[in-house]
Amino acid sequence: MLAYYYQEGINVNINYEESLKWYLESVNNGNTTAMVNLGYLYGNGIGVEKDLTKAFELNLKAANSGDSAGMFNVGKKYEMGIGIAKDTLKANYWLEKSKLSKGI
């Protein structure tokens, strides 16, 4: 994924602006990995202003599209109250759904 290459500086100079551009295009095309990765950037303020709510929303979008990493991240965010109010029931739901989606 081109966005990740710019994010990490793989065969190119690190360029968060380019990374963000390509992540947004991928997210708009329904790429769930891009949703999770962009959520990571927002959650940690890497190349963008830190926004825990936006990070949660991106992971939830990925989770609702069947992405197991998104499901896990949403579960952990509900469990710890990061970007969303703590909710043990929702945390358990998403963590179990993630586990089942991986066939564990």
pLDDT the model gives residue 97: 97
Q: What is the pLDDT of residues 59-103, one digit of tens each?
A: 999 999 999 999 999 999 999 999 999 999 999 999 999 999 976
Q: Which domains does the chain have, with CATH numbers?
A: 2-101 (1.25.40.10)
Q: What is the CA radius of gyration of the chain?
A: 14
Please list the alpha-helical segments (H only) found in the chain.
2-8, 16-28, 32-44, 52-64, 68-80, 88-101
Q: What is the pLDDT of residues 14-30, one digit of tens each?
A: 999 999 999 999 999 99
pTM above 0.85, yes or no: yes
Q: How far apart are CA 97 and CA 32, in angstroms?
A: 16
Q: How far apart are CA 57 and CA 102, in angstroms?
A: 22
For the chain, report the end-to-end CA distance as a whole number of angstroms.
27
